[in-house]
Amino acid sequence: MHIPRHHFGTAYNRLKRSSSATVPSVLVLTSLDVDSVCACRMFTRLLKNDYIPHKLHPVAGYQDLAKANKEFIANNDDLKFLVLLGVGGLVDIAEFLELRRGVECWVIESRRPWNLQNIFAGAGGEGYGFVGKDGFVSDDGGVVCWDDGDIGDFLQPEEQAYKQLIEMQAEVGDMEDWDSEDEEDEEDEEFAENRRRNGEEKDTPSSTNSRKRRSSSDDEADDDDDEEEDGYSDDDRRRRRKRIHSGSSTPDSSPHAYSHLIHIHGPGATATTATNTTLTLPTTAPTSAPSLRLQRKTILQLRRKHNKTLTDYYATGSTYGEPISSLIYSLASELGREDNDLLWLAIIGWEGQQMYGRHMHSFSGDQTLTSLSARSIGVWGVLRDEVRRLNPPALTGASQFTSNNSLFTRATTAEDYSLRLSPEFRFLLIRHWSLYDSMLHSPYLASKLHLWSEHGRKRLHKLLATMGMSLQQCNQKYVYMDMDLKRGLRDKLDVYKGRYGLEEIVREGVVKCWGWNGCLSAGDVAVIVGCLLEVGRSGRKKRVAAVGGGGGANGKWDGEEEGADAAARLEDEEVQESIANFQAAYDAIEDIESLKSALPLAMSLHRSILTTGTALIEKRQIKHLRAYRLAVVKEGPDVATFTHPSALTKLALWLAEAVREQELEKGVGKRRGLPLVVAALNEARGCYVIVGTGVGNIEGLNLEGRKVADAATKKKKPEKENKEKKKKTPTDDDEDEDESEEESDSDSDSDSDDENTDRKVLGRNRFGIAFQEVANETSARVRIDSFEACVVEVRKEDLGGFLEGLSMKSIVG
């Protein structure tokens, strides 16, 4: 079931009334990303303020979730409420956890698509179900999904199809045999039609009887004899034929650790409860009832139609909804408990989603760029208005700040803990780094100025020189720069940004002060917390060096017991490391001293991204395949850093933006918009971690969802028209004509591709579906354990076969 936003407070009040005051009856399981950490911090604060005993446990993936189920859920008779933050939205969570009766499970998730079994099974919808003595859910518990608007606004066709299928199941039972009989009838009709077309109008009695279904007692006796001979009934044969033709949806069992596969997408399990509605069938005439065969055919057609609706829903690919930290803030607002601390965490969660390219999208097929932009900006607009409401300018002194174009770097008083809206440059950690390093490691500037090349760095030097800023000043820490240079930085960028294509170099952000201890922007905190989750306080390089670069697991996974034990031990170590990283991030997110101490680690991580990305581009190691681009990180000093999926995702987004800007400038048509696959070698475990990204930033939109004009394409249109005019007059330079024809052909292909890629523009990621299909169809040893559907692990020896199978999939179509 699901509940709308305006009933979040009702759900929480039910938890407060039903929870125990003596034993922890509330269990919170959270995933390991910035948004989930912020939401967890906010939700546990609400629980503490209401003196509700609870337990908190982070989970790194589905395998870790299964372990937590055995340890904290399965045999816990005191458990009444299970809260999943960033976990469980993509699978049938009730079946996965085998929830017992009486446990109410809240799924608060931003990943899409929803598993329809979670949101439509049982009572649900408006008003939290309106069942039970308190007006909502009964004491039987169940799965309750928090709706950010997607379910109520965009999933009406899927809800109708899902409920119709349940009604059919309840009315007519199993329809598996109907499909076989319907296929046989269609084959008989097709065979007869072919005979008539060939001039064989009259069939012999023997041929006619051979095609008819046997219904006499003699035929039934023959069937019984056949069943005794081979041991299979007629129904069994039909099911076997159906399985052979349709194929199995689950992989074969294998003794290897990587044979475990979590099926994330799918039409969902068959519902166990049905509504009290009656399925009505159309009749052929008002005077006579339809035949049984016609009724079956009508029901099968309806079922195929509804199944197609659900299949199309799951096949659109992965996307994201509203950050869950924003949903928790909506809960606090409904309860009347919103304050600056909760608002600050919600803004950090929003910034974290933008940092990993998790932009908000909807499910409607006719969703346009304008409505997508409005929805993405709408969440930020609400948070921005809350900053203004809770921090009036007269009280915080923000009026003096807003009149100044320089960044805010210090508090006004020792007791200043307020939030401020601030113009933010799209430079990385600028308040804590030098201006030059901040610009050099900025993903935005790297793609616009091509900072991976020597020519791009010269362009950066030229930009600084044009603005009248010396390298000596720019290499100092930003807070120690000349005050006049800092005050005039924004005005100078506004003058020269058009020349370098930096139209979105300044955006709006939020800054928080901790008195004289320092000031941090929400984007800075998101970067630091993300780094703590990815590499921890000590860094992944030191941990991998301590392991010894592989040990017994490297090369001994082919069934040897010693290798399997070593692999399991390394996996357990990584899980424990992830939990330790979560604890460090959870404690540091509101501690200014912990955040400042982690700044060098965040800087080191982004140096690794710049170094590794530059090496891949300069050495031309990004390969263009049929359906995607491929980059493999398997050597260098920073390989261990990118064995974490989130760190690898940052590198993949950096590369995707760089390649996209290159192709926009070169005018490459056919390759434009191809997704990117990045693989990193985990030498210790003998596997590759693979991340599949979409088409970089959403085509035609920036990170804030605003429309951006494609200047490169517009400039080429006049050139294309001039070349076409020259073609009409005969010239002696045939080579130039051939080149112009090729360019026009490629441009036309690009235009046709852009016209037919409505779903691509919405930034949907179909790699999760493609990974599962390849895992089912090939013998590659694969593990899909991450909550992110576009992350997969493949054995080192099976990488080639896996990528070859992936190249045959339709990823962006």
Nearest to 791 by CA among 673, 671, 678: 678
C-alpha 659/C-alpha 496 separation (Å) is 24
The mean pLDDT value of the chain amounts to 76
Nearest to 429 by CA among 402, 457, 409: 409
Contacts of 301 by beta carbon, 8 Å cutoff, 6+ apart: none
691 burial type by CB count under 10 A (0-12 exposed, 13-18 middle, 19+ buried): buried
Write the DSSP symbol of residue 91.
Answer: S
173 burial type by CB count under 10 A (0-12 exposed, 13-18 middle, 19+ buried): exposed
Break the chain into its structural domains and give their ranges: 2-172, 336-545
What tens digit of pLDDT does each residue of 99-127 get?
988 899 999 999 989 999 999 986 544 43
Q: Are strands 104-108 and 81-85 parallel, antiparallel or unpaired?
A: parallel
Q: Are strands 419-425 and 629-633 parallel, antiparallel or unpaired?
A: unpaired
Question: In percent, how much of the chain has pLDDT > 90?
Answer: 43
C-alpha 109/C-alpha 117 separation (Å) is 15
Q: Which residue has the tokens 């859910």?
A: 137
Is the Cβ–Cβ distance between 82 and 27 less than 8 Å?
yes
Q: What is the DSSP string of 394-439?
A: HHHTHHHHHT--SPP-S-SSTT---EEEEEEESSTTGGGSBHHHHH
Most confident of 179-188, 273-282, 471-480: 471-480
Per-residue burial over 485-494, b = 16 or more CB atoms within 10 Å of its CB, e = otherwise: bbebbbebbe
Q: Which residue has the tokens 């039903």?
A: 18
Give pTM, 2 decimals. 0.79
What tens digit of pLDDT does each residue of 130-182 get?
343 344 455 677 899 999 988 988 899 999 999 988 888 887 766 666 655 55
pLDDT of residue 651: 95
Element (H, E) at 26: strand 26-30
Is the Cβ–Cβ distance between 464 and 445 less than 8 Å?
no
What is the pLDDT confidence band of residue 300, given thresholds at 50, 70 and 90? confident
**What are the angstrom distances between the C-alpha of 52 and each of 31, 373, 395, 626?**
22, 39, 34, 55
Distance of CA 80 to the CA centre of its chain: 30
C-alpha 29/C-alpha 88 separation (Å) is 10
C-alpha dihedral (300, 301, 305, 310), degrees to nearest 10? 10
Fold of 2-172: Rossmann fold (3.40.50)
Is the Cβ–Cβ distance between 627 and 807 less than 8 Å?
yes
What is the pLDDT confidence band of residue 188, given thresholds at 50, 70 and 90? low
pLDDT of residue 699: 38
* Mean pLDDT within 465-478: 91
Strand positions, DSSP E, 54-158:
54-58, 81-85, 104-108, 111-112, 142-146
Nearest to 62 by CA among 790, 690, 646, 785: 785
Sheet holding 81-85, edge to edge: 2-3, 142-146, 104-108, 81-85, 26-30, 54-58
pLDDT of residue 460: 94
Q: Are strands 319-320 and 111-112 parallel, antiparallel or unpaired?
A: antiparallel
What tens digit of pLDDT does each residue of 317-331 get?
888 999 999 999 999
Is the Cβ–Cβ distance between 108 and 137 less than 8 Å?
no
290 burial type by CB count under 10 A (0-12 exposed, 13-18 middle, 19+ buried): middle
Q: 348-352, 371-375, 547-551, 780-784: lowest mean pLDDT where?
A: 547-551
Is the Cβ–Cβ distance between 552 and 563 less than 8 Å?
yes
Q: How many residues does the chain have?
A: 813
* Mean pLDDT within 673-701: 78
Contacts of 231 by beta carbon, 8 Å cutoff, 6+ apart: none
Per-residue burial over 332-365, b = 16 or more CB atoms within 10 Å of its CB, e = otherwise: bbbbeebeeebbbbbbbbbbbbbbbbbbbbbbee
Tell which phi-psi region holds residue 199, choosing left (phi > 0), alpha (psi between -120 and 50) or beta: left
Contacts of 189 by beta carbon, 8 Å cutoff, 6+ apart: none
Nearest to 489 by CA among 541, 424, 553, 429: 424
Largest CA distance in the chain: 103
